[in-house]
A and B are shown apart, each in its own frame.
Chain A
């Protein structure tokens, strides 16, 4: 396994899902998984199955909502969409993520 591929941290996965739904609009689970892998250009190693407990967790917290619908090729699928609370959460997390990575960068550069 190439060392450049990294495991997804739980909190990170939440953030990725929220961001994906924010930029792409309502999507089904498979769509979200594909999109995350596509955007990360295959660098993220994601067991697609782990996405589902994460989706459930986000939904329980009220950050995303789900409803059954029909996909582009006429398949029944569960579509997830960002709620207002979810959007707020995304902003907060993105901001804290930014601060965090800036700090880590600074630490790495100075030492």
Chain B
């Protein structure tokens, strides 16, 4: 074995020492021959004879050298070096071709690498600072087998106690908060975590410590926080004495016990966490009171780490058995509830889930783009293989093996795609933060969706590169192996129009390109239409002229009574502001991250089918809410200031609820039971969107805030004024009431709608970019084929002109040929698209995957692009000089 490596090493290095080794060999053989001649002379031969005899007994000197060289190096490596050198020389000689080819491949491979890096950085390895991410899984609850919910703390603790197949369980629940330093208040986000968090993920604070066991329990017992590296630098100027200082979070003083390392952004795909607090402080940050003892309060988002060698299925089985036991032990809170593990890329409670469908589509699309790019470069190579036909023929004639020629062609393909792959890595590096740019910015929240270029992405990049090489080398190699020596040498084949078969190959490549491009255009069209439909569909409330903000009284430590007084006073002042038409508070904002209250209801006169318990969501709103939001009132009245604690309980229901539970009869004056209390219906409101623009109409109702009070609420203001103007005025009023308070960012409801539909926007933008890229590449391909066809058929064109064809005839001839190619490709593409667009699945909204408009638009775009691609070659055709064309 040692000998083998010894030999291999020497042979591998030989090509690099070639000069010296050759000189050595010459010297050695010369000295041998001279010694032999000398000996022969001593035996009595003449000088001449002695030399001849020496050469004769030596055998062929040149043959010996060849044998020696083969033994010295590795022939396969040496020829590869030759091919590489030769290939590079060929590429340098035709810089236009080379640059175009490398550019096409850079775009093709770059698109692939960029998407790989996103998939890696967002879906598969979203937390680079965390050790052993491959054993990390997300943990969430299920209700009746589906729909992810959170977990309750007692359930979580039972899991932790009873599961043996898992290294660790940890909580990481995102929450927003107000961070105040001095008199400045700022909104930011952080995580509520279990005490084992930092140990479980293997992240060690660079200053201070993580949390200690026990710090996660005891109601409000441990006001400690670990802050992020960015926060430490931005707000505390990197103060090395930071540990032990205090920071007000949501109005409660917390002691800073640690600073997280640079590059650690927490464990929530999409957003960069700024600080962490233990679960014991949950009440300070979460609405709904103290929940650590409440098995029914499912608020926890959690992760687990598998023990080495344990599969997700085994762990799931164990967790399910614990969940079964919990169901039996606590039927009141746990009946029908399960607990489920999810791979990180399907995490139900962060942006991984929302981006997954988009990235899946992207993965398919970039393969198309790569194929189109390869077809382009294949076409270019094909053209070149015609001009190199003589070179190949001569090389074959003087004895090169066909295998050797094919190897040469593949080597050239490899050079091109390797350069393209390097370019691709650069492209991916540039694009690694591009996704964040597609999401609308929001105050106080730093988006973090990085692409990750690690060795896996690089390996995929290399595989794509090799794949491209194969595709590229295949076409010209097929042609080379078909060269018929005799006829090729006989005729000066360059003058003959490229063989029919080759023309077919080129047209075939363009056909493939056009069809792939068509599929992408259809996909882009469908998504664009969906987005348009989503944005144009009325959410059922006014999107313009209504502003929205919140003033966080929970964090500021207000109790219910103070909050009520503050909100009354503020509402009074806001309504008095010039330009404000109306204003109202409501607990929940439509289309936001939080969730509405929901309740089982009983409706007078409605007998639900057995097995069905009607559960309906509702919102707690103030007087004038419906008018302020622009939600139409169909009958009855909305709430007024008179609907307070001392008045009769009332509710306003929506259309769908009327249709479902009163079967269309007038519900006004009827009763509905909510959480055990009977309320009288006083009005019917039009349906609107509550949780998502894409939801279908569902039963929903409103109750007066005064009769169902919670401190937290959003403020809605109807006004024609700009948000900035109102924000300034509002901040002044808030400050006048309480100097420690500041309103959050003020946005229009349109902005709220846009934010909630940003995943669609991202999908459309990305697909649009890829579609445009594909179109560009396809146009280049079509242009190349048409201009080559024209340059090869000057004889035919000249003949036609001589026979009386005018410029417009020729123009039409060339363009119609190009359009025929395009139409063929588009038909093929349409057939493929019909089969594939169904995969867009729920990215589509109110648009059929076979929408004729999208197909028509794609066809129109392709036609225009084809016309543009053919025009220049066609124009050149009309400039054919018939006399010259026929003479040559």
Q: Measuring CB to CB, which residues of chain A are less than 8 angstroms from any residue of chain B?
A: 28-30, 33-34, 47-50, 52-53, 56-57, 60-62, 71, 73, 75-78, 85
Contact = CB atoms under 8 A, between A and B. Distances in A.
B204 interface: no
B725 interface: no
A82 to B, nearest CB: 15
Most chain-B CB neighbours within 10 Å: which of A33, A56, A57, A76? A56
Interface in B49-91: 57-61, 63-64, 67-68, 70-72
Nearest to B34: A75
A56 B25 CA distance: 10
A30 B36 contact: yes
Given A48-B58, A49-B64, A71-B35, A78 B24 contact: yes
B501 interface: no
Given A62-B3, A78-B28, A34 B64 contact: no
B441 interface: no
Contacts of B3: 61-62, 85
A47 B58 contact: yes
Interface in B2-28: 2-3, 6-7, 10-11, 24-25, 27-28
A50 B67 contact: yes
Contacts, number: 72
B32 interface: yes
A47 B63 CA distance: 11
Contacts of A47: 57-59
Contacts of B70: 53
Given A28-B31, A78-B24, A60 B11 contact: yes
A43 to B, nearest CB: 15
Given A56-B72, A60-B10, A62-B3, A48 B57 contact: yes
Contacts of B60: 49
7 contacts: A30-B31, A49-B63, A53-B67, A76-B31, A77-B31, A78-B28, A78-B31
B10 A52 contact: no
A61 B35 contact: no
Contact of B27 (A30, A48, A61, A76): A76
B29 interface: yes
Given A29-B28, A61-B7, A53 B71 contact: yes
A48 B31 contact: no
A63 B57 CA distance: 26
A49 B61 contact: yes
Given A53-B71, A60-B6, A60-B11, A48 B35 contact: no
Nearest to B63: A49
B729 interface: no
Contacts of B39: 34
A53 to B, nearest CB: 4
Contacts of A29: 28, 32
A54 to B, nearest CB: 9
B128 to A, nearest CB: 46
Interface residues of B, number: 30
A52 B35 contact: no
Given A57-B71, A60-B71, 10 more contacts: A30-B35, A48-B36, A48-B57, A49-B67, A53-B64, A56-B72, A60-B7, A73-B38, A76-B31, A85-B3
Interface of B: 2-3, 6-7, 10-11, 24-25, 27-29, 31-32, 34-36, 38-39, 57-61, 63-64, 67-68, 70-72
Nearest to B7: A60
A85 B1 CA distance: 13
B contact patch SS: helix
Contacts of B24: 78
Contact of A53 (B2, B10, B68): B68
A103 B2 CA distance: 31
Nearest to A89: B3
Most chain-A CB neighbours within 10 Å: which of B36, B63, B64, B72? B64
Most chain-B CB neighbours within 10 Å: which of A47, A52, A57, A71? A52
Contacts of B27: 76, 78
Nearest to B6: A62
Contacts of B72: 56
Nearest to B60: A49
Nearest to B29: A52
A52 B6 contact: no
A50 B64 contact: yes
By Cβ-Cβ distance, the 8 closest A-B pairs, closest first, are A47-B59, A49-B64, A49-B59, A30-B35, A53-B71, A60-B7, A30-B32, A53-B67
A4 B236 CA distance: 98
Contacts of B36: 30, 48
A34 B70 CA distance: 25
B8 to A, nearest CB: 9
B68 A56 contact: yes
A64 B38 CA distance: 27
A47 B38 CA distance: 18
Given A30-B35, A57-B71, A50 B11 contact: no
A77 to B, nearest CB: 5
A50 B59 contact: yes
B629 to A, nearest CB: 86
Contacts of B10: 60
A30 B27 CA distance: 13
Contacts of B2: 62
A44 to B, nearest CB: 12
Contacts of B11: 60
A85 B57 CA distance: 31
Contacts of B32: 28-30, 33, 48
Most chain-B CB neighbours within 10 Å: which of A29, A49, A53, A78? A49
B280 to A, nearest CB: 70
B88 to A, nearest CB: 30
A78 to B, nearest CB: 5
Contacts of A61: 3, 6-7
Contacts of A49: 29, 58-61, 63-64, 67
A28 B38 CA distance: 15
Contacts of A71: 31, 35
Most chain-B CB neighbours within 10 Å: which of A29, A60, A85? A60
Contacts of B59: 47-50
Contacts of B31: 28, 30, 71, 75-78
Contacts of A52: 25, 28-29, 64, 67-68
A35 B34 CA distance: 17
Nearest to A73: B38
Contacts of A62: 2-3, 6
Nearest to A61: B3
A97 B11 CA distance: 29
B273 to A, nearest CB: 60
Contacts of A34: 39
